[in-house]
Amino acid sequence: MLSTGRRQEVHLLEGGAAEEAQLASPSLVTGSATAWLSNQPGRAIVLARGNHFVVDSVPSLGGPNEERNPLDLALGALATCGTFIYESATKEMGIPLTEIAATMEAGFDARGLVDGSVNPRIQALRVEMEVAGATAEQAE
């Protein structure tokens, strides 16, 4: 549903669960990103923490596909999160790493984007973590 000039909120935690989450973590902060359509079909401008970037849709959905698409950004965010977690954990454990890399892959049926014949939702996520500098024992 579209609305004009009205803010609509969707809460992942409803009612008491949302209140319990807030009580359990009174220091809970809110991250925010805003996207709006540009003057080119299939292209959006995103604002997050004062930074703007362009996100394109894929051609099958009418986008120019010249910039990152939403799937690129989601996978990149997950891979980045994984590298930061490894970085922090290995530092705390005293494991000296010289390199950390995460590769995220998502499996989906692209026919759903082209003709709608199937649900194009992500059906599989795979992550591969590569580390260098740790001994085999430390890597376990």
Q: How high is the pLDDT of residue 137?
A: 83
d(CA 121, CA 110): 9
Q: Which residues pair with 56 in a beta bridge?
A: 43
Domain that includes residue 136, residue range: 69-140
81 and 108 share one domain: yes
Of 107, 72, 104, 102, nearest to 85 (Cα)? Answer: 102
Name the residue with higher pLDDT: 140 or 36: 36
Assess if residue 21 is contained within a domain: no
**116-130 pLDDT per residue, tens:** 889 989 999 999 999
**5-62 pLDDT per residue, tens:** 555 554 455 555 656 665 666 677 888 999 999 999 999 999 999 999 999 999 988 8
Assess if residue 139 is contained within a domain: yes
- Residue 42 φ then ψ, to 5°: 75, 15
d(CA 106, CA 111): 15
Assess if residue 110 is contained within a domain: yes
Evaluate whether 119 touches 110 at the Cβ level (below 8 Å): no
Q: How high is the pLDDT of residue 18?
A: 59
CATH number of the domain that residue 139 is part of: 3.30.300.20
Q: How high is the pLDDT of residue 112?
A: 85
**71-113 pLDDT per residue, tens:** 999 999 999 999 999 999 999 999 998 999 999 999 999 888 8
Assess if residue 24 is contained within a domain: no
95 and 130 share one domain: yes
Task: Report in angstroms the alpha-carbon separations of 22 from 11, 16, 30, 31, 33.
Answer: 13, 10, 11, 15, 21
Assess if residue 47 is contained within a domain: yes
64 and 109 share one domain: no
Assess if residue 7 is contained within a domain: no
